[in-house]
């Protein structure tokens, strides 16, 4: 079905069929190529996307000019820079396609109009945002409390698409380790009995 990925993302018990039809009609299916940027530092985000297929990452440059991956977006996930799109401020992040991608795009103005029209969308948005806050807190605590090996294993268990499609240098910065440490951890896990 054409809107399967949208049905996966927009799940909430308050949505009526006509709500979903209005919501789906505002999304445009697009294709992007590996290396394409959806957002660059200094831009104000006017769009968010849902990933049908492909892998994207968000990243920043640290104080020494090194790229640090802050997140990966996989199939059936939102690609959004929340602070920029909702507060209408320039972003500090870049969002880039790591593979060829098929995305569903919705513009901010269309989303705002639907947000005011469909009460269930506001409830879905609150639930989504609460879950993102939970994930952000979980990640920050795990960066402190888990070993690099455990963080890698968790990524392998929870999001294998990242390990299959992302360059190792991006995975290493996401995990907060060097490329060399990542290579060692990968060998240890492969050689585990």
Share of the chain above pLDDT 70, in %: 99
Mean pLDDT of 29-46: 97
Q: Is 3 helix (H, G, I), strand (E, B) or coil?
A: coil
**Closest listed residue to residue 95, CA positions, set 49, 37, 53:** 37
Q: How confident is the model at residue 90 (pLDDT cuts 50, 70, 90)?
A: very high
Q: What counts of helices (H) and strands (E) characterise the chain?
A: 9, 8
Strand order in the sheet with 56-61: 37-39, 94-97, 56-61, 67-73
Residue entry with tokens 């990542």: 182
Q: What is the pLDDT of residues 1-14, one digit of tens each?
A: 678 999 999 999 99
- Report the alpha-carbon distance of residue 73 to residue 97 in Å, rounded: 9
Domain 4-144 -> CATH class: mainly beta
Q: What is the pLDDT of residues 151-185, one digit of tens each?
A: 999 999 999 999 999 999 999 999 999 999 999 99
Q: Is 65 helix (H, G, I), strand (E, B) or coil?
A: coil
Please tell me the predicted confidence (pLDDT) of residue 1. 63
Check whether 43 has a pLDDT greater than 90.
yes
Kindly report the pTM of this predicted structure. 0.91
Please tell me the predicted confidence (pLDDT) of residue 187. 87
Check whether 24 has a pLDDT greater than 70.
yes
**Closest listed residue to residue 48, CA positions, set 27, 23, 69:** 27
Please tell me the predicted confidence (pLDDT) of residue 193. 65
Q: Find out whether 38 and 56 touch, Cβ atoms under 8 Å.
A: yes
Q: Find out whether 156 and 163 touch, Cβ atoms under 8 Å.
A: yes
């Amino acid at each position: 079905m054409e809107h399967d990925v949208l049905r996966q993302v927009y799940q909430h018990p308050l949505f009526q069929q006509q709500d979903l039809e209005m919501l789906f009609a505002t999304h445009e299916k697009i294709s992007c190529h590996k290396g394409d940027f959806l957002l660059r530092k200094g831009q104000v985000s006017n769009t968010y996307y849902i990933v049908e297929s492909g892998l994207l990452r968000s990243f920043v440059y640290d104080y020494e000019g090194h790229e640090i991956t802050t997140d990966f977006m996989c199939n059936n996930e939102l690609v959004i820079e929340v602070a920029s799109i909702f507060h209408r401020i320039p972003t500090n992040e870049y969002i880039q396609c790591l593979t060829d991608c098929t995305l569903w795009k919705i513009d901010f103005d269309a989303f705002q109009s639907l947000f005011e029209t469909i009460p269930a969308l506001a409830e879905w948005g609150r639930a989504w945002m609460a879950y993102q806050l939970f994930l952000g807190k979980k990640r920050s605590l795990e960066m402190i409390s888990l070993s690099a090996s455990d963080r890698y294993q968790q990524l392998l268990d929870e999001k294998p698409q990242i390990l299959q499609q992302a360059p190792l240098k991006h995975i290493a910065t996401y995990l907060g380790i060097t490329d060399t440490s990542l290579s060692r951890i990968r060998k240890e896990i492969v050689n585990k009995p």
